[in-house]
A and B are shown apart, each in its own frame.
Chain A
Amino acid sequence: MKSETKAKFGLTKLELRDLVLLAMVVAIKVVLGKFSVGNATLQVGFGFIGSVMLGFFFGPWWGFVGGALSDLVSSAIFGNLGGFFIGYTLTAALGPMIYGFFFYKKPVQIWRVIAATILVTIICNIWLNTLWVSLMYGAKFMAALATRIVKEMITPWIQMIITWFVLQALSRVKQSKKF
């Protein structure tokens, strides 16, 4: 990021170059969101890697914008399972925002990875997304939570490991002449 002019709401002003990079990272997040690894019982999606990239490169505020945009773009191209709902857009925006608070212009440290992943898991995945599911399907919150909680207890640990290596690679790129 070359320009550092502070604008309202803590949003730094983006040069056109950075804006294009933001669009590219949004596109990367959309594409990564289509990928997952694992077996029939446990699937870990890769969308969170895009969130980490948004937070790491652009910070919490532009990360929020990028996250929301990625959800809209993804819905427009691929559609949403179970229809469009603005709540999921909010969740998609909050993830990169939280990562941004922990990773943007900060050294890559284990505690940051652990804290950021746990916060995203609790706020976005366990609390908000469960709330949206229960709202959309008229189920009780606890009932919706029960179906999701097992996965949300396992995936964060996998995500932390992946995030750690992703951040190492991203910092290498950020330090190179290409950036």
Chain B
Amino acid sequence: MSIKFKNVSYIYNPGSPLEAVGLDDLSFELEEGKFIALVGHTGSGKSTLMQHFNALLKPSSGEIEIAGYKITPETSNKGLKGLRQKVSLVFQFPEAQLFESTVLRDIEYGPKNFGFSDEEAEKVARKWLEKVGLKADVAEKSPFDLSGGQMRRVAIAGVMAYEPDIICLDEPAAGLDPQGRIEMMELFKQYQAEGHTVILVTHNMDDVADYADDVLVMEHGQLIKHDVPREVFKDRDWLFKHHLSEPHSSLFADKLGKAGFAIKQPLTINELADEIAARLKGVPHE
């Protein structure tokens, strides 16, 4: 199965003075089971696109096929619950959505909403509490008494507990400490490796280089590139022209090149190290 967008456009407040184009004639096909990055500068339509994945927004024109559902401008809100169980969104700063009296109940809220029994919900909630890296003793605490990073984890556990086929994450690691950031990204990578689709909205090109299989690049509501990370980061001038940054390793390689130490453009730190080692000794590093 795949996620298909056919000529999807979205217009905010159509017919009013506040009319604005959010998405402009988007067509693409994403393979399920991949790690997909959605990049583009602020206001390029990333969030608008993300909200189309589970029909929080419906296209003004065009058609979306996702998780066995077909979404058109005429799609009604009835019957979308099944879609939302399969396609989940983690919004930016998801800790804002915590509300229950205990951490455990907050994580159980999603599963229960999708028809899990009390025992099942508690089981998956405890499992995901652990998976996101929290200790079992926070389960009975109020979510409002946790630290920011812990709250973020609880919120993400709440969205992942019912194990959606497709999970869309909007800057899930924003504002986390470096260690927490890596843990979170590894969690999503592992989730994808287990057979789910992960769509990551991000400004962090290192994460794109490290984790993504496929990249969608947005600008002014249009899809300007859909390719693998290596191809997206290939053309430095193109990136610059479209206000995109490069992974740090690629920037560093550029500096080395300017200093007369030319190496092949690497995407990740490991590749950079390999390239340098190869230039120095002709042997790859471990």
Q: Which of A's residues lie within 8 Å of B, judged by CB? A: 169, 172-173, 175-178
A176 touches B145 (CB 8 A): yes
A177 touches B145 (CB 8 A): yes
A129, chain B: closest CB distance, angstroms: 32
Give Cα A131 to B145, complex, Å.
47
Residue of B with least CB distance to A172:
B101
Residue of B with least CB distance to A179:
B144
Contacts of A178 in B (CB 8 A): 144
Interface of A is mostly: helix
Instruction: Mark each residue of chain B from 124 to 148: 1 if its CB lies under 8 Å from any CB of chain A, else 0.
Output: 0000000000000000001011000
A177 touches B99 (CB 8 A): no
B22, chain A: closest CB distance, angstroms: 23
Contacts of A177 in B (CB 8 A): 144-145
Contacts of B99 in A (CB 8 A): 169
B103, chain A: closest CB distance, angstroms: 12
Give Cα A176 to B145, complex, Å.
6
Contacts of A176 in B (CB 8 A): 142, 144-145
Residue of B with least CB distance to A175:
B142
Give Cα A56 to B280, complex, Å.
71
Give Cα A169 to B145, complex, Å.
15
Contacts of B142 in A (CB 8 A): 172, 175-176
Residue of B with least CB distance to A178:
B144
Give Cα A176 to B99, complex, Å.
11
Residue of A with least CB distance to B141:
A176
B93, chain A: closest CB distance, angstroms: 15
Contacts of B145 in A (CB 8 A): 176-177
Interface residues of B in 2-61 (CB under 8 A from A): none
B97, chain A: closest CB distance, angstroms: 14
Give Cα A173 to B144, complex, Å.
8
